[in-house]
């Protein structure tokens, strides 16, 4: 994934977007993505 686009056309969604962008994604998720070959095993930013 190179980038994400967060919908900010609605001012009420800004806080929700900030929370989503700062959410911690469990390590198991990233491991599963690698196992499914959706992320290269050598990807250095995880």
pLDDT in tens, 20-36: 888 999 999 999 999 99
| pTM attached to this predicted model | 0.57
Is residue 38 pLDDT above 80, yes or no? yes
Q: Could you give the 3-state DSSP secondary structure of residue 45?
A: coil
Is residue 3 pLDDT above 70, yes or no? no
Is residue 43 pLDDT above 80, yes or no? yes
Per DSSP, the residues of 9-43 read SSGGGHHHHHHHHHPPPPHHHHHHHHHTTSS-TT-
* pLDDT class of 2 with cuts at 50, 70, 90: low
């Amino acid at each position: 994934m190179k980038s994400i686009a967060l919908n900010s056309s609605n001012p009420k969604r800004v806080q929700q977007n900030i929370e989503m962008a700062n959410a911690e994604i469990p390590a198991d998720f990233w491991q599963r993505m690698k196992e499914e070959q959706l992320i290269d095993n050598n990807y250095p930013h995880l």
